[in-house]
Structure 1
Amino acid sequence: MINLNDKNHVPIILTILVIVLIMIIGFTSHQREQIFILERGLGNVFLPIQRVISKSMSQVEESLVTLIRSSDIKDENNQLRSVNESLQHQLIELQLTQEELSELRQLQRTLNSIDRHDDFFPVTANVIAKNPGNWFEMFTIDAGSQQGVEKDSVVIGSGGLVGRVYETGHFWSKVIAIIDNSSSVSFQVLRDGSLQGIISGSVTNELSGYLFDPDAEVVVGDQLITSGIGLYPKGILIGEVTTIDRTPDLLLKSVNVEPAVNFNRLDKVLVISPRTIDE
C-alpha cells in the first residue's frame, strides 16, 4: 500500500500518473479515429437526406415568398382595379357631360334659327318615357304646366323640329312627333322660300309630302324648314329631301324626307309655348 503522505513515494506516484496519462492519450487517439469512421458512414447515409430536406426547405421558402408576393400582387391588382373603375366612371361622366353640352349647343343653334318674339320663353326638358318601339313617335318629358308648357306647345330637338305637346300634367307632358301618321307640317324649301308644301308622318315613321306647285324645281338634298303657316313658327329645320316623284294623278310633286332629328334617340328637347307663335 502506497502512503501518499510519504515523500519517498512521490516519484512512484508521478511515474504512475504519467503512464496512465499516456494510456489515456493513446486510447482517445484510437477512439477518435473510430469516431471519424463512424462520422464518415453516418455522413454517407444522411447527406442525401440532408440534401432532400434542404431542397424541400428551399422550395417551401420559395412557395412562402410566392404566396406572400401573390397576396401583395392581389392587393395591388384590387387597388388598380378600383382606380381603373373610378377612372372609367369619371370618363363616362365626362363623356355624358360633353354629349349633353354638345346637344344643348345644337339646341341653341336650332333655337337661334327660329323667328322669335318678346314673349319667347323656351323650356328645356328631358325625355323620361316613350311608347314601345324603336321610334320616338310619342314620348313623355319632365316639364309640364308648372313650367309653362301648354297643349300644342312646339317641341324641338338638337337638329330641328320634333313635334308638339298634346297633353300636359303639372310636371310632365306628352309629345307627338312629326313622324307619327297623325302629324302634318307646312314647309318651305330653304334654298327658295317660294317653294312650299305639306309634309306628314306615316305608319312606317317616314316623312313624305308634296309641293303645292307641281312644277317646283326641288332637288334631292334640298333642306326643308317650317314655313310659319299653322302651328309651327317659321325657320325650324325639318329635314332633307331624299327622293322626288309625282303623285299618281301627276298633279303634284311628292318628296320623301330624312328628318333632321334622330328619332331613334332623344334625350333633351326645347319646348316653345304656343303663345309665342301668334303674331
Structure 2
Amino acid sequence: MIVAISAIILIIVMGVTTGQRDDITFVEKWVGNIISPVQGVFNSGVTAVGENFSRIINIGKISRENDELRIKAEALEKEVISLRLNRDELEELRGLKYALGYIDDEAKYEPITANIIGKTPGNWFNTFTISVGEKHGITKDSIVLASNGLVGRVFEVGGNWAKVVAIVDNDSSVSFQVLRDNKTQGIISGSITNELSGYVFDPMSEVMVGDKLVTTGIGIYPEGILIGEVKAVEKSGNQLLKTIEVEPAVNFRRLTKVLVMRANSLAE
C-alpha cells in the first residue's frame, strides 16, 4: 500500500513539474515570492562590489600613469631649460666675439671671456666681480667689453678674480667723439643714478639726438668702441656749454658675461 501510494505521488509530481506549463503551483509562487527579493538584493550587491573593485583598480592605474607622465614632464622641462641655457650662452659668446670688431689694433690685446660672479647691491652692474684674474693675465685698467659696446675697466685684481668699474659708475669718465663727425668730441661720466651725461668741448659743434658716440683713443680705451647714443642735448643760457645725456649701448641691468682685453705680453 505504501509503495503504491508513493508511486502515485511521484507520478503526480512528475506530471506537475515536467513540460511547458502556463500556470505554476501555489507552492512555487510562494517560494518565488520569498526568493526573488533576496536574489535581487544579492545580485545588486555582487554588481556593486564588482564595479567598486573595478573602479579601485582603474584609480590605481590612472595614478601610476599620472606619476609616470609627471616624471616625463619634469625630465623634458629640465632638458628644455638646459637647451635654453646652452643656446643663450652660445648667443652671448657669439656676441662677445662680435665685440672684437671694436678693437682695431688687435695685436696689442688678447681677449678672454669672463663670467660675472658678484655685484654691488641694486639693479645696475656699476661695479662687479668677474671670474678671471692675475693668473689669466688680467691687470689693472684692462678693458672690459660686452657684445653691444664698452662696459668699463678693471680697477682691482686678485689671483683668479677681478673687479670692474662700469662707465655708468659715478667714479668713471670716458672721452668720446661723435661717430658721424669725429671732430665733435667731449667727456661723459657716470652718476650715482647710473646715468651717463657729459659735455662737448666746442659748444658750437653740431651734436644731436640719435648721434652715436665712440671712444676717441685718448686715455686707456682704444679708439672706436661704441659707448652709446645721445638722447638729449641742452645748451646753457650763455651758450658757453653744451651738455648731453647718453643712453648706454650696453644693458647694465642684464650682464652675465663680459670680454676682457688683456695685453699680449701678459697673456698665458
Both structures adopt the same fold (TM-score exceeding 0.5): yes
109-118 or 235-244: which moved more? Answer: 109-118
1:150 aligns to what?
Answer: 139
CA shift in 2, pair 1:275/1:46, >3 Å: same
SS of 2:192's partner is coil
1 or 2, which has the higher strand percentage? 2
Tell me, in whole angstroms, the C-alpha distance in 2 between the residues paired with 1:25 and 1:221.
Answer: 126
Residue 172 (structure 1) aligned with residue 154 (structure 2): no
2:6 aligns to what?
Answer: 24
Residue 162 (structure 1) aligned with residue 151 (structure 2): yes
Match of 1:66 among 55, 59, 62: 55
1:80 aligns to what?
Answer: 69
CA shift in 2, pair 1:23/1:171, >3 Å: same
Residue 211 (structure 1) aligned with residue 200 (structure 2): yes
Residue 117 (structure 1) aligned with residue 106 (structure 2): yes
- Contact residue 219 and residue 241 of structure 1 kept, 8 A: yes
SS of 2:106's partner is coil
- Contact residue 108 and residue 263 of structure 2 kept, 8 A: no
Structure 1 runs of 4+ with >2 Å offset: 19-22, 25-43, 247-250, 273-276
The number of residue pairs the alignment matches comes to 258
Structure 2 unaligned spans of 5+: 18-23
CA shift in 2, pair 1:179/1:158, >3 Å: same
Deviation per CA, 1:246-269: give whole Å up to 9, x if none: 246531211111111111111100
2:39 aligns to what?
Answer: 50
After TM superposition, give the deviation of residue 119 of structure 1 in Å: 3.4
- Contact residue 175 and residue 187 of structure 2 kept, 8 A: yes
Residue 140 (structure 1) aligned with residue 129 (structure 2): yes
1:11 aligns to what?
Answer: none
- Contact residue 152 and residue 274 of structure 1 kept, 8 A: no
Tell me, in whole angstroms, the C-alpha distance in 2 between the residues paired with 1:58 and 1:240.
Answer: 81
CA shift in 2, pair 1:31/1:131, >3 Å: same
The CA RMSD over aligned residues, in Å, is 2.2
SS of 1:232's partner is coil
1:257 aligns to what?
Answer: 246
Counterpart of 1:107, as a letter, is L
CA shift in 2, pair 1:53/1:236, >3 Å: farther
1:13 aligns to what?
Answer: none
- Contact residue 165 and residue 174 of structure 1 kept, 8 A: yes
1:126 aligns to what?
Answer: 115
CA shift in 2, pair 1:189/1:274, >3 Å: farther
Match of 1:101 among 90, 106, 112: 90
After TM superposition, give the deviation of residue 25 of structure 1 in Å: 2.7
73-82 or 136-145: which moved more? Answer: 73-82
SS of 2:223's partner is coil
Deviation per CA, 1:147-170: give whole Å up to 9, x if none: 111111111112111111111111
Match of 2:173 among 168, 184, 191: 184
Tell me, in whole angstroms, the C-alpha distance in 1 between the residues paired with 2:119 and 2:263.
Answer: 23
1:197 aligns to what?
Answer: 186
Counterpart of 2:5, as a letter, is M
CA shift in 2, pair 1:246/1:49, >3 Å: farther
Identity %: 49
Tell me, in whole angstroms, the C-alpha distance in 2 between the residues paired with 1:259 and 1:163.
Answer: 12
SS of 1:194's partner is strand
- Contact residue 177 and residue 183 of structure 2 kept, 8 A: yes
> TM-score scaled to structure 1, two decimals?
0.85
Structure 1 unaligned spans of 5+: 1-18
> TM-score scaled to structure 2, two decimals?
0.89
Tell me, in whole angstroms, the C-alpha distance in 1 between the residues paired with 2:116 and 2:84.
Answer: 19
After TM superposition, give the deviation of residue 112 of structure 1 in Å: 1.4
- Contact residue 110 and residue 263 of structure 2 kept, 8 A: no
